[in-house]
Every structure is written in structure tokens, then in C-alpha cells.
Amino acid sequence: MKRKLILLILTVAVLVTVGCSKKSSPAESAGIHGYTRTSKLAYEDATTDSFASESISGISTANSTSREKEAGGETDSLSANIPDAERKLTKRATISIRVENLTAAEDSVNALLKKYDGYAASSNIQENSHYYSLRIPANYYDVFLAETGSMGRLMNRYENTEDVTLRYYDLEGRLATKKELLKTYQSYLGKAKTIEEILSVEARISELQFDIEGTGIQFRNLANKIDYATVDLNLFGPVSSNPNQGLTFGEQVKQLFGGFGVFLSTVAMILLGIVIYGIPIILLLGLLFLIFFGKIGLAKKLWRLIKS
């Protein structure tokens, strides 16, 4: 009886021990890897699975970092990853200058653009003012601004510099991570054996290509702003040439003599009209007077006949 009781106790203890070990195994696995795939492709091995897991984790981290930065909370971990990185700056300036000759100033602007390998992104030419949006290589930014001062009298100058280092390296890292992950899925495509696997991999490849294109556009636009500074240049002509300032003395004299000339031409036209039309009319009226009231006196004779 005692032996049976001891055997029963030992059997229960063994069953409890085995059951606990089976329950703890999945939890330990999840705690170690932190990544669980619901379905695994037939051609995937442990190496590719691990790489894809790490790549997906990297993309998730980069995306969350980007969202945190957009909300205004740049993470300390990203700053710690680039302690010795080159600073990335975007520069912009707005300058207003009054010049004596707008044509000569325009030639000077073109000469400076050619000298420093810049270009005009847009321009607006008006009667007494020229407006330019210029793109200048960042390494020539300061010297270009210094030379624009020789065009005329400086009216206003505003400069702004923005540090985009974190954003630049974040986009660069996200782009590199997505490109590596794309290569991994492209290699999966060659190993696919079923239609479901092919469609699944192609869908992921299409999604990655779309993400790479969007991230690449953002990265190139930011890099262009870093490489080329923007200078908004406003050129204004002399104050006296402004129509709202009134006429100068010389312009008033010119206007006076111009009006006198118009008066003389009007008088000449009136005299010419009198000569052409007035003299014949006067002669005709004189002839009629002689016929009716003069020596011929037709009107007098007719009056006498009526009385008699």
C-alpha cells in the first residue's frame, strides 16, 4: 500500500514538471527574439528570417523617430548616433537694394550668377523694380551677399539659417534601410514556389518601392536646399523715376513747350481752314448782295412790281 502511494505521488510530480516546462518554452522564445512570424515561406532559412526581422524593426524605429521629430520631440538616441556628423544647414537671405540704373544692376546680377555657378529660380521685372529668387552654392553664399552690396544702397537685409542635421541623417538612414530590405525581398522572389508566396512578396516589394520613392524625393529636396542657398534679391530704381513722386523741373519745362507746340499747331489749322473755306464763302455772299441789293437790285425791282 505504501509503495503504491509513493509511486502515485512520484507520477503526479513528473506530470506537473513536464507540463510547466512545455508552457514556459513559448514565452521564453518570445522574450528572447521579440519577433514572431505567423507564416514562414518555404525557402526562408534562419538567416534570412533574422535579417528581415532586424530590417523591419529598423524601419519601424526610423518611422517612429521621424514622427517624434515632426511633433517637436527629437530623440536623444538619434543625436547620440551622429555625434561627429557634419552639420547640415539650410540658408536663406532677403536683400533689398536701391540702384541708380536697373539695367546695369540686372547685368551685374547675371555676371554674379555666372561667376559663382548660381541660377535664377524665378524673376519678376516691373517698371521701377526687379525681383529675383536666386539659388547660390552654399560655399559661395557669404561672398555672394558681400558682392551684392556694391550694386547700390542697402535698404534691408534679412538672413535665416536652419540646422537640419537630424532630419538629413534620419532620411538617409531610412532610405538605406528600405533599400536593403528591398534587396532581401527581391531575393525571396526568386525562391518563391507557390502563387501565394509570389503575390505576398510582390506586394511587399511594391510597397517598399513606393516608400523608397517618397523618402528619396524628401531626401533629394532637403539635400538641394543644403547644397544651394536661396537669396531673394529685390532691386529698386531711383526714387525720382517713381511716377508717384511727381514730375521733375526738366519734365515740367518739356511738358510746357510741348503744350505750346500743340497750341501753335491748332492756330495754324484754324487759319488754314479760314483760307480754304472762309474766302470762297465771303466772295459768294458778296456776289449775292450785289445781285439782290446792289447795282443789279433784283430784290428792289421785284418789290416795286409787287407795289404797282
Residues 192-203 have a mean pLDDT of 88
The span from the CA of 47 to the CA of 55, in Å, is 12
**pLDDT tier for residue 225 given thresholds of 50, 70 and 90:** very high
Residue of 300 and 170 predicted with greater confidence: 170
Q: What's the whole-number average pLDDT of the chain?
A: 74
Residues 19-39 have a mean pLDDT of 39
Please tell me what DSSP assigns to residue 274. I
Output phi, psi for 125, to 5 deg.
Answer: -100, 120
- DSSP assignment of 135-170 equals EEEGGGHHHHHHHHGGGSEEEEEEEEEEE-HHHHHH
The 3-state DSSP class for residue 203 equals helix
Residues 3-21 have a mean pLDDT of 56
Measured between alpha carbons, how far apart are the two ends of the chain, in Å?
Answer: 190
The span from the CA of 246 to the CA of 225, in Å, is 44
Does the pLDDT value for residue 102 go beyond 80? yes
pLDDT in tens, 76-88: 444 445 545 688 9
**pLDDT tier for residue 215 given thresholds of 50, 70 and 90:** very high
Name the nearest CA neighbour of 52 among 181, 140, 148.
181
Please tell me what DSSP assigns to residue 243. G
Residues 274-299 have a mean pLDDT of 76
Residue boundaries of the structural domains of the chain: 41-73+82-246, 249-307
Report yes or no: 189 and 202 within 8 Å, Cβ to Cβ: yes
Please tell me what DSSP assigns to residue 276. I
Q: What's the whole-model pTM score?
A: 0.50
pLDDT of residue 296: 66
Q: Which range, of 45-59, 136-150, 196-210, 277-291, averages the lowest pLDDT?
A: 45-59
| The three cell numbers locating residue 173 | 538612414
**pLDDT tier for residue 4 given thresholds of 50, 70 and 90:** low
pLDDT of residue 63: 40
Residues 134-149 have a mean pLDDT of 92
